[in-house]
Amino acid sequence: MERNPAKLTAFGREVKKRLIDKDMTQAELADLLGCSRQYINNILYGRKDGGEYRKRIAKILGIKKVA
């Protein structure tokens, strides 16, 4: 049985781009937010809504539109 790979959300793609631009890892971002890297990953792939974390991620990375 073949698994469908998870796909990044539009927000997730933008976060990944900004992390690369800032030479920052998801683990470093998670430390700044006080949550796990896995939770950040779940937000980026749309498995978790992330609510307030999305707003804080956007602020840290300079993302203007939080979709």
What are the tens digits of pLDDT across the range 6-60? Answer: 899 999 999 999 999 999 999 999 999 999 999 999 999 999 999 999 999 999 9
pTM: 0.86
Helix pair 26-33, 10-21: axis angle to 10 deg: 100
Task: State CA 33 to chain mean position distance.
Answer: 11
Residue with tokens 């927000």: 11
Quick check: is 3 in a domain? no
Quick check: is 29 in a domain? yes
Are 15 and 62 a contacting pair, CB within 8 Å? no
- Residue 48's domain spans which residues? 10-61
Task: Give the CATH number of the domain where residue 17 resides.
Answer: 1.10.260
5 pLDDT band, cuts 50/70/90, is confident
Quick check: is 31 in a domain? yes
